[in-house]
Amino acid sequence: MKTRNAVLLPGIALASVAVLAGCSGAAPEATASGGEESLNIGFFGFAAANSFAQGTWGGVEAAAEELGATAEFVDSNFDGQLQAQQITDAVTTGQYDVIIIQANDNLAVQQPLESAIAAGITVVVEFTAVGPDFEMVEPQIEGAISIVDPAVTNGEKLGEMGLLACEEAGSAPCKVAYMEGFRTLALDNARTQAVVDTLTEGGAEVVAKVEGGYTADAGQAAFQDIITANPDVDVVIGSSQAVGGAKLAAGADSDVLFVGNGSSRQAIEAVKNGDWFATYSLDNYTNGYTAAELGIGKHNGEEVEVAVNEADLAPGKGIGTAENLEGFESTYDD
């Protein structure tokens, strides 16, 4: 398996190293079953205009090129129903040997992907799990490959970073506020519960849960609510976009320690320059590369790992402190 930075390798679990190293020996020629035409990959990303998806797409493209396949970005522009129809169309036409999907709707695409597998198409579920369970790394569709970032694991890592920030703050008890994403989303609710449980079990006091969303403006407004009710708050956690707005609202002289959720270029730089304490970090490029590598390998008849937690492929296994992010470069912008 290729990675962009040697710094990633120490952070991979030993079991993952063994499995992935076994998949990355002499790469077989990536051709369709007939051996005469290039194997075709369809990357069903969140949206072509989304920089997060583009960061992953770069890894997919690189793996396809190195392994002799072709790849195409299939744009659904965040529309779950459209994405489901695009998969159905791809099954009908048979234009892709491998489908890599970032699901816009974790349930809407389930049946079309099952149909794809039944038709002999290799399916790789990337980043967002397809199915109802927000904790599972294992595939929830029989026959698929799952290389995902479970919401519950994400929440636990955010809580762990919050506790590390509490150690830095030195307060007892440490007061933490969490800026949730959207309370209408089941995925966000699962993540929130994991954050709160981890903080509470670690001895921190969760003094506020407010909806912070995924924009700087929403984060700024949420922080104003937090600091008004809790002027002695020690740590604030939220999406990288919301934390960016919250930090602006706090001002340069604030003693509040911020923990973001996302590894955009802006978030990584904020941690490295000391504006934020930490941020949850994933390596989109490596995730995309690995998804394509595993998909090609399975389609060519290899035995490959079918359940990969993306945090295991990231610096510090997702714990993005300044020390763990040294040498790491993001591939997308907020």
Residue 23: is its pLDDT beyond 70?
Answer: no
| pTM reported for the whole predicted model | 0.85
DSSP assigned state of 198: H
The CATH number of 40-149+283-303 is: 3.40.50.2300
Read off the pLDDT band of 12 (50, 70, 90): very low
Q: Is residue 3 pLDDT above 60, yes or no?
A: no
- For residue 20, is pLDDT > 90? no
Lowest mean pLDDT among 4-18, 138-152, 294-308: 4-18
Residue 14 pLDDT more than 70?
no
What confidence score (pLDDT) does residue 334 get? 87
pLDDT at residue 33 in the model = 39
Looking at residue 37, what is its pLDDT?
A: 75
Token couple for 302: 């290899």
Is it true that 40-149+283-303 and 152-280 share their CATH fold? Answer: yes
Q: What is the pLDDT of residue 28?
A: 37
> Contact 46/284 with Cβ under 8 angstroms?
no
> Which pLDDT tens digit goes with each residue over 226-246?
999 999 999 999 999 999 999
Domain parsing of the chain, residue ranges: 40-149+283-303, 152-280
Please state, in angstroms and rounded to a whole number, the distance separating the CA atoms of residues 13 and 281.
Answer: 16
Q: Which CATH class is domain 152-280?
A: alpha beta
At 32 the pLDDT is: 41
269-303: b (≥16 Cβ within 10 Å) or e: ebbeeebbbbbbbbbbbbbbbbbbbbbbbbbbeee
Residue 24 pLDDT exceeds 90: no
In the chain, the percentage of residues whose pLDDT exceeds 70 is 89
Spatial separation of the C-alpha atoms in residues 29 and 69, rounded to whole Å: 9
Query: Residue 194 above 50 pLDDT?
Result: yes
pLDDT for the residue 106: 94
pLDDT score at 265? 97
> Residue 81: which H helix or E strand, with range?
helix 80-93
Single-letter amino acid, residue 309: N
User: Is the pLDDT confidence value at 324 over 50?
Assistant: yes
In this predicted structure, what is the pLDDT of residue 250?
97
Identify the pLDDT of residue 205. Answer: 98
- Which tens digit of pLDDT belongs to each residue from 93-110? 999 999 999 999 999 999
Confidence of residue 2 (pLDDT cuts 50, 70, 90): very low
